[in-house]
Amino acid sequence: MTSVLALRGATTLDVDEHDHLMVRVTELLGEMLERNGIHHDDLISIIFTATEDVHSCFPAKAARMMGLGDVPLICARELDIDGGTPLCIRILVHFNSELGRAELRHVYLEGARNLRDDLPQ
């Protein structure tokens, strides 16, 4: 039976530059889809958040460049919390799957690796 699931992921930037952001977001989103066997037609929507120090481009642009322009995409600001991870981009993917929630493999790369050590990788 197919269910709607949500998958989390995050990465960080070394610098806030367009090309660097595109590489890191493409890497993260690609890894999220691959590790979980998610295909284009399984996707429902993708939400991207970025911390206040990211200004070079919209993270959703990387998804469009990956051929996901027909998937609803939205970008938003992450809360500006004291001690939060700087230059951080988070992704929340909604998709249809026959997997159970416990089978999901959330993806945290670069400086975001220790944001959620309680989730399976």
Tokens for 99, please give them. Answer: 């997997």
Matching CATH number, 3-112, of 3.40.190.10, 3.30.1330.40, 3.30.450.20, 3.40.50.2300: 3.30.1330.40
Please tell me the number of Cα atoms within 13 Å of 54 on its side-chain side. Answer: 31
| pLDDT (tens digit per residue) in 18-56 | 999 999 999 999 999 999 999 999 999 999 999 999 999
Tokens for 45, please give them. Answer: 């929507």
Rounded Cα gap, residues 82 and 70, in angstroms:
36
The confidence band for 116, taking pLDDT boundaries of 50, 70 and 90, is low
| 8 A C-beta contact, residue 24 and residue 89 | yes
Locate tokens 């610098």: which residue? 15
Name 4's bridge partners. 96
Task: Show which residues are catalytic.
Answer: 8, 64, 75, 78, 90, 108, 116
Q: What percent of the chain has pLDDT over 90?
A: 91
The full set of domain ranges for the chain reads 3-112
Rounded Cα gap, residues 87 and 81, in angstroms:
13
